[in-house]
Structure formats: structure tokens, C-alpha cells
Amino acid sequence: MDNSLVSSIVFFCILVVSVRSDVLSDSCGEAAKHDPNINFDFCVSTLGGNPKAKSATGVADLVKVAIETAISNSNSIGSLITKLLSNKGLDPYVRSCLQDCSELYSDAGSSLAKGEKAFEGKDYGTANSVISAAMDSSSTCEDQFKEKKGVVSPLTKENNNFFRLNAISLAFINMVQK
């Protein structure tokens, strides 16, 4: 094969990869610019680990990635809560909070799945509504630990990340709507 043809093919492949990776970077940058709950680095690093984000050709593809990531995150948090609840010496108040959080995250996973279907059907109002409801699960979970003085949530990091993931999903949906 001729060297110039090989060089052209390599250049084209590099160009395609760089354009596709810019979709994630550009979308995260735009979302972070308009929403103080979105951190650019968190957005890029969290979604960038998903191969679907690397092949995204537009922000609509990234909505699906963000929602899938949030669903996976919800399931991981549910597993962590189950592990924490297996501790026999757990304070009864903390146990009660964790049980509530378990139900919240179970419901959040269902809401996110509904949001994904609504987005795919271009029902952006429903998608926003059910994803917002899922997002509130993290705040509700975290807040109940604060209701009793001296109690520290064992899920603060997870709750914050879940909230931020859903903020990204909502921002991307709003970008698609425009």
C-alpha cells in the first residue's frame, strides 16, 4: 500500500477519534458552565470511562451514557447499603436511615429507567421529572442522617456523586431540547 494512502487513513482515524472525544469534553464544559452542580472534571472522568461515551456523536448519546451510569451507580450504592446493613453492631438509628436509603435508591433506579425510556421517546418533560425525582433520593438519604446530632452518614460521597451524575443527565437533556 502506498505510504501517502496509509498516512491519510491514519490521519483520518485520529481526526475521527479526536472529534468524538471532543463531544464529551464540549458537552461537559457546556453543562458545567450553566449549572454550578456540575464539575467539568467529574463529568469527563465519570462518563469518559464508558466506551459509549467515547463513540458518542452528539449530546443525545451522552444523555443515555449519563443515565446508564446513574443506574449503575444506584445499583452499586444499593449493594453498599446491603453490606453496611449486614453489620450486626450497627446503631439502630443509622440502620433505620440505611433501610430508608435502600428503598430510595431502589426507587431511584426505577425512576432512572423510566427517564431513559422517556428520553428515547423524546418525552423530555417526563424524563426531566423522573430523573429529578431520582436525584432527590440522594439528598433525602443524606439529610436524614443529619436529623440526629452526632450521626454521620456513611454514604456522603456516594450521595454526592449520585446527585452530580443526575445533574449531568438533566443538563444534557436540556441541551438536547434547545
DSSP the chain: --HHHHHHHHHHHHHHHHHHHHHHHHHHHHHHHH-TT--HHHHHHHHHTSHHHHT--SHHHHHHHHHHHHHHHHHHHHHHHHHHHT-TT--HHHHHHHHHHHHHHHHHHHHHHHHHHHHHTT-HHHHHHHHHHHHHHHHHHHHHHHTSTT---TTHHHHHHHHHHHHHHHHHHHHHH-
Q: What's the rounded mean pLDDT across residues 165-178?
A: 95
Q: How confident is the model at residue 2 (pLDDT cuts 50, 70, 90)?
A: low
pLDDT at residue 20 is higher than 70: no
pLDDT at residue 14 is higher than 70: no
Q: What local confidence, expressed as pLDDT, does residue 33 receive?
A: 96
pLDDT in tens, 68-116: 999 999 999 999 999 999 999 999 999 999 999 999 999 999 999 999 9
The more confident residue out of 22 and 120 is 120
Percent pLDDT > 70 in the chain is 88
Q: How confident is the model at residue 51 (pLDDT cuts 50, 70, 90)?
A: very high
94 closest CA partner among 103, 86, 85: 85
- Region of poorest pLDDT, from 3-7, 31-35, 76-80, 107-111: 3-7
Residue 101 CB burial class (10 angstroms; 0-12, 13-18, ≥19): buried
The mean pLDDT value of the chain amounts to: 90
